Structure 1
Amino acid sequence: MENKQETTASLPLADTNCCASDCCTDDNTNKSATELKELVQEKYGAIARRAAGGGCCGDQSMDYSIMADEYDTLGGYAPDADLKLGCGLPTEFAKIKAGDVVVDLGSGAGNDCFVARSETGDTGQVIGVDFTDDMLMKARKNTLTLGYNNVSFVKGDIEDIPLPAETADVVVSNCVFNLVPNKAKAFSETHRILKTGGHFSISDIVLEGNLPQALQKDAEMYAGCVAGAIQHEEYLGLLRQQGFKNLQVQKRKAIVLPEEVLSQHLSAAEIAAFSKEFGIYSITVYGEK
């Protein structure tokens, strides 16, 4: 399995009032799938309304951008659509060609859609799928500003994508599947909407080792809702189970929790063990149908 690039990102401390906003929760472990989806909609709706971006569970003072990769060297980059909510650059690795139909799952304000549009050109089509009304509103406004007539956005849950089978040549997604309760269903839907011979490039958060219970709240706050992420090998295994082949890890980036956060919950010995035995990673994965 190819590992094209590996880097390390250290997440800074947030403002102590981070979780005073309406997008936070003290405990997600016992919530139903419906409640988790409502939480995500509420949280990302609030971020879209703020327009300036912000953290997964924070306000504008939280530097969530440490987790995101910079888009400004990519063609089609639209700063107003970049809310710094991703954890990779899937469009950079997606092998998009002129004329392709590209679907972006969890498209937010349209950032990856506009980059994809620069690759697929006037002869292609880009479709963003998101289930947050405020994000869809912002994405459509950005599209009008940019004057694109082949970029569109539809409301939908990626566990039940509102597109016909065999729609897309390429699927991209940026830090979204880690927020989905039923990842197997979402991967199955991704496989369904891809054309035979099509492929995806997905950036997401995965874990290695068991996340200590005492850190689940903080890990979610600082690492983009990592409490919803699953083990690296389990993630790849789910993709294989849905029929994807030629899986490749195109990029892997370690996410490091600050010691100041760890010391609030763990002893010095536990921190040392945590650092050796546990990891949070952003990965970009490629696969074919």
Structure 2
Amino acid sequence: MREDVQDYYGRQLQGTQDLQTNACCDQAPPGWLKPILASLHDEVLSHYYGCGLVAPQLLEGARILDLGSGSGRDCYVLSKLVGAQGEVVGVDMTPEQLAIARRHQEYHREAFGHARSNVRFLEGYIEQLDELDLEDDYFDIVISNCVINLSPDKEKVLSEVQRVLKPGGEFYFSDVYADRRIPAHLKEDPVLYGECLSGALYWNDFENLARKTGFTDPRLVEDRPLTIENEAIEARLAPARFFSATYRLFKLPELEPHCEDYGQAVIYQGTIPGEEAVCRLDKHHHIERGRVFPVCGNTWMMLADTRFAEHFRFIGDFSTHFGIFEGCGTALPFGDPESGTEAASGSCC
């Protein structure tokens, strides 16, 4: 299937207009991102096939790895956000996409006012990072945008991300997920696979795989339903439903399998740029400035043992356990506008 994916993205697709569904179409960018996108080269933008926004908070000076970097759009956005002291490395297996990305390195260096380019691109497979001489415990953040579903070995991808992340670092990525397991025969269809649909993981299989590879408490940041907008393809995949979702997975080995209550709380200082009023850790943790906000032990560690620490005050410790937070469920975490139901809480504090 690798060869089919390379052919699809390297030769068949000449731009976003050639996509047959909306699975690989980006959502409207937030206002703060629009000026950066406007500064990118047109060729980089026209060959972008992502499905979400992969720019978490607090990026200045960070080392970032982009898995499946394609034409380089996200790498160049992050190049601007990390600044001259940061570093962005893109990995992609498609020579045609890499050629576009590399062709415009100098253009973006000048556009961002950097003395030297802080971006580099490597050709390789995202499940074989060990063959690219990427160091253990090196990156602050790993991102990916609608690419993991295309990998034939998703467990190896997550294991390699775990290896290259620094302790306290995070994997922040968007991808396509299904509400059920996709039949094997559909995974053999190069168009369905190339459109990021038949290779999509069932959401619960993904969360279990994340835990298996050391990311004990995957946190959903945002999600939206995908409508596909191609009747023939939709009919072949029915009744499966698909979602674009952004997750963050922290490399914190002490995280527990469930949300445990130790009577802890945090107070947000209001010092994260762009989130002065509310820090949005994930879909269920919007932490207002100055408010005493009760948290489980896992959320405490995600804030205290990462780059977020200096932006919070911490109340309590782990000396007394009060049991599990109620509502720590395992239902479908994505919202379902068809039935009018809200997403079940994937965490409970």
TM-score by length of 2: 0.61
Residues 125-140 of structure 1 mapped to structure 2, 5 A cutoff = 125-140=87-102
* CA distance 1:260–1:237, change in 2 (3 Å): same
1:109 aligned residue: 71
1:67 aligned residue: 25
1:248 aligned residue: 219
Deviations 1:53-78 (A, max 9, x none): 344xx5xxx46487322347415322
Once residues 140 and 117 of structure 1 are traced to their aligned partners in structure 2, the CA distance between those partners, rounded to angstroms, is 14
- 8 Å contact 2:23–2:196 — kept in the other structure? no
Corresponding residue to 1:158 among 102, 122, 126: 126
| More displaced 10-residue stretch of structure 1: 200-209 or 175-184 | 200-209
- Higher-Rg structure is 2
Residues 44-63 of structure 1 mapped to structure 2, 5 A cutoff = 44-46=9-11, 50=14, 52-55=15-18, 58=19, 62=20
- Offset of 1:247 from its aligned partner? 1.8
Once residues 214 and 185 of structure 2 are traced to their aligned partners in structure 1, the CA distance between those partners, rounded to angstroms, is 36
1:169 aligned residue: 140
Higher relative contact order (CA 8 A, sep 6+): 1
- Offset of 1:262 from its aligned partner? 6.8
SS of the equivalent of 1:204 reads strand
- Partner amino acid, structure 2, of 1:239: A
- 8 Å contact 1:87–1:175 — kept in the other structure? yes
| More displaced 10-residue stretch of structure 1: 187-196 or 78-87 | 78-87
- Offset of 1:221 from its aligned partner? 4.0
- Partner amino acid, structure 1, of 2:74: D
- Offset of 1:218 from its aligned partner? 8.3
Once residues 263 and 38 of structure 1 are traced to their aligned partners in structure 2, the CA distance between those partners, rounded to angstroms, is 24
Once residues 141 and 259 of structure 1 are traced to their aligned partners in structure 2, the CA distance between those partners, rounded to angstroms, is 34
SS of the equivalent of 2:104 reads helix
- Offset of 1:44 from its aligned partner? 1.2
* CA distance 1:95–1:255, change in 2 (3 Å): same
- 8 Å contact 2:21–2:230 — kept in the other structure? no
* CA distance 1:40–1:243, change in 2 (3 Å): same
2:6 aligned residue: 41
Deviations 1:64-109 (A, max 9, x none): 4873223474153224322241111112xx2242110011000001
Kindly indicate whether residue 57 of structure 2 is the aligned counterpart of residue 95 of structure 1: yes
Residues 174-193 of structure 1 mapped to structure 2, 5 A cutoff = 174-193=145-164
Deviations 1:34-55 (A, max 9, x none): xx1111111111157x3x3344
Once residues 217 and 182 of structure 1 are traced to their aligned partners in structure 2, the CA distance between those partners, rounded to angstroms, is 15
- Give the percent of matched residue pairs that are identical in Structure 1 and Structure 2: 31
Q: Paired residues, what number?
A: 236
SS of the equivalent of 1:283 reads strand
* CA distance 1:189–1:143, change in 2 (3 Å): same
1:7 aligned residue: none
- Offset of 1:264 from its aligned partner? 5.8
* CA distance 1:262–1:122, change in 2 (3 Å): closer
Kindly indicate whether residue 209 of structure 2 is the aligned counterpart of residue 209 of structure 1: no
| More displaced 10-residue stretch of structure 1: 206-215 or 98-107 | 206-215
Once residues 131 and 218 of structure 1 are traced to their aligned partners in structure 2, the CA distance between those partners, rounded to angstroms, is 20
Q: Indicate the structure with greater helix content.
A: 1
SS of the equivalent of 2:97 reads helix
- 8 Å contact 1:218–1:261 — kept in the other structure? no
- Offset of 1:234 from its aligned partner? 0.6
1:122 aligned residue: 84
* CA distance 1:39–1:96, change in 2 (3 Å): farther
Once residues 168 and 237 of structure 1 are traced to their aligned partners in structure 2, the CA distance between those partners, rounded to angstroms, is 24
SS of the equivalent of 2:207 reads helix
- Offset of 1:136 from its aligned partner? 1.0
- 8 Å contact 1:208–1:231 — kept in the other structure? yes
Once residues 234 and 44 of structure 2 are traced to their aligned partners in structure 1, the CA distance between those partners, rounded to angstroms, is 36
1:86 aligned residue: 50
Deviations 1:8-44 (A, max 9, x none): xxxxxxxxxxxxxxxxxxxxxxxxxxxx111111111
Which consecutive residues of structure 2, in runs of 5 or more, have no partner in the other structure?
110-115, 252-349
SS of the equivalent of 1:76 reads helix
Kindly indicate whether residue 117 of structure 2 is the aligned counterpart of residue 149 of structure 1: yes
- 8 Å contact 2:142–2:172 — kept in the other structure? yes
SS of the equivalent of 1:104 reads strand
* CA distance 1:95–1:47, change in 2 (3 Å): farther
- Partner amino acid, structure 1, of 2:89: I
- Offset of 1:167 from its aligned partner? 1.8
